[in-house]
Amino acid sequence: MRQITDHAGRRPLLLTVPGIDNSGPGHWQTLWEKELDDCARVDLGMWSRPHRNTWVNKLNAAIAAAGRPVVLVAHSLGCHAVAWWNRLEQTACGEVLGALLVAPPNLAGLPKTSRLASFAPLVREPLRFPSILAASEDDPYATFGQSRKMARLWGSRLVNAGWLGHINADSNIGAWPFGRYLLEQLVLNLSWPTIPSLPQGKDLPKRGTDLRIGLE
């Protein structure tokens, strides 16, 4: 099993947040859970008929139960669950160090019968933690321009992942090594919560480290 750590060797809990219909055995999220230490899936339930508040509550419970800081790894509709959680929940926000958001779908103009409808409208508040939004040039569920808008609203760093469709199992990318690289760079540059008291008079690491990963 492989570990993903920051520059000080600290290991956050990686929580994967799948999209609609869950992530199957060939999905990169599933493969990461098998290959990485400290990586677990949030069981959002109602996979085929997702409900925004239910998913937000399940995500909040998983974060609160983690027992240590976490990094969220969301795909598709799971990205919008993260955005709504960031807007609606306050108590556990300090436990989230960062998020990798992959291929969030466009929510504009959805019919009321759409399975995504309860997640509309698009959250317009910035996330309160560093994030990377990876988008595909030919995602059938969001144009690259729409992805750019979501990244801007959420304060995420936008990364062009190439021509990979919806960046899922159908993209034939296996464990998606480039996505793993993005995750590693995100974790490497995280700012961990400040320890309340100084240990034996030693200086604490400074907070607020910029997310500089050299990606455009």
In this prediction, residue 96 carries a pLDDT of 93
DSSP class per residue in the chain: -B----TT---PEEEEE--TT---TTSHHHHHHHHBTTEEE------SS--HHHHHHHHHHHHHHSSS-EEEEEETHHHHHHHHHHHH--TTGGGEEEEEEE-PPP-TT--TTSTTGGG-S---SPPSS-EEEEE-TT-TTS-HHHHHHHHHHHTPEEEE--S-TTSSGGG--TT-HHHHHHHHHHHHT--PPPPSS-GGGPPPPPS---------
What's the whole-model pTM score? 0.86
In this prediction, residue 190 carries a pLDDT of 85
In this prediction, residue 1 carries a pLDDT of 54
pLDDT in tens, 137-196: 999 999 999 999 999 999 999 999 999 999 999 999 999 999 999 999 999 888 776 544
Ordered by where they begin, the domains of the chain are 15-193 (3.40.50.1820)
